Amino acid sequence: MMMIFGIPAPLLFGQLLLGLINGAFYALLSLGLAIIFGMLNIVNFAHGALFMLGAFVAWGLLEYSGIGYWWALLIAPLIVGAFGVVLERLFISKLYKLDHLYGLLLTFGLALILEGLVRNFYGSSGLPYRIPRELQGAQDLGFMMMPNYRGWVVVAALVVCVATWLIIEKTSIGAKLRAATETAPLVQSFGINVPRMITLTYGAGVALAAFAGVLAAPIYSVNPNMGSNFIIVVFAVVVIGGMGSILGSIVTGFGLGVVEGLTRVFYPEGSATVIFVVMVIVLLARPAGLFGRAH
Binding footprint of other proteins on the chain (CB under 8 A): 8, 11, 14-15, 18-19, 21-22, 116, 119-120, 123-128, 130-131, 138, 144-145, 147, 149-150, 218-221, 223, 225-226, 229-230, 232-233, 261, 264-265, 268-273
Measure the CA–CA gap between 179 and 168, rounded to whole angstroms. 11
Closest separation in Å from C-beta 213 to other proteins:
12
Residue 268: how many other CB atoms lie within 10 Å = 9
Length reported for the chain: 295
Nearer to other proteins, 68 or 123 (CB): 123
Residue type, 69: Y
Nearer to other proteins, 4 or 145 (CB): 145
Measure the CA–CA gap between 255 and 290, rounded to whole angstroms. 12
Residues 212/81, Cβ–Cβ less than 8 Å: no
How buried is 183 (Cβ within 10 angstroms: 0-12 exposed, 13-18 middle, 19+ buried)? exposed
Closest separation in Å from C-beta 83 to other proteins:
23
Closest separation in Å from C-beta 276 to other proteins:
11
Nearer to other proteins, 93 or 221 (CB): 221
Nearer to other proteins, 21 or 180 (CB): 21
Closest separation in Å from C-beta 228 to other proteins:
9
Measure the CA–CA gap between 147 and 136, rounded to whole angstroms. 7
109 CB contacts (<8 Å, ≥6 apart)? none
Nearer to other proteins, 63 or 169 (CB): 63
Nearer to other proteins, 151 or 195 (CB): 151
Nearer to other proteins, 21 or 40 (CB): 21
Measure the CA–CA gap between 7 and 9, rounded to whole angstroms. 6
Nearest by Cα to 201 from 220, 224, 226, 180: 180
Measure the CA–CA gap between 52 and 54, rounded to whole angstroms. 5
Closest separation in Å from C-beta 232 to other proteins:
7
Residues 278/270, Cβ–Cβ less than 8 Å: no
Closest separation in Å from C-beta 212 to other proteins:
12
Give, in order, the Cα–Cα distances in Å from 189 to each of 168, 183, 248: 21, 10, 31
Residues 33/246, Cβ–Cβ less than 8 Å: no
Closest separation in Å from C-beta 119 to other proteins:
7
Closest separation in Å from C-beta 15 to other proteins:
5
Nearer to other proteins, 124 or 171 (CB): 124
